[in-house]
Amino acid sequence: MTQREKLLETIHQNPKAVRFDDACKIARWLGFIYDGGQGSHRVFKRPGEPIQLNFQNRNGVIPPYQARQLIAMLDKYGE
């Protein structure tokens, strides 16, 4: 199992502890492009996708509802 596969499996198993940096990395893997943000927020958009991903850095992790949105995009665009 590759490091990437392990990370994706970890996110599926525990959406309450997704690291902010990992969420940003995965968004890029899925074809999302960084589109700005202020303060602790980062916004990612994907051409042709009406839903954008917005991550907030809360002590190094993202809120669970944002992790669930990321998981939905993983299910939609993941390999």
Looking at residue 79, its pLDDT comes to: 65
On whether the 3-77 domain is CATH 3.30.920.30, my answer is yes
Share of residues in the chain with pLDDT > 90 (%): 82
Farthest-apart Cα atoms in the chain, separation: 36
Q: Per-domain residue ranges for the chain?
A: 3-77
Spell out the residues 6+ positions from residue 64 whose beta carbon is closer than 8 angstroms to its own: 15, 16
Residue 48: in which H helix or E strand, if any? none
> For 22-38, how does the pLDDT look when each residue is reduced to its tens digit (9 = 90+)?
999 999 999 999 999 89
> For 61-71, how does the pLDDT look when each residue is reduced to its tens digit (9 = 90+)?
999 999 999 99
57 within 8 A of 13, measured Cβ to Cβ:
no
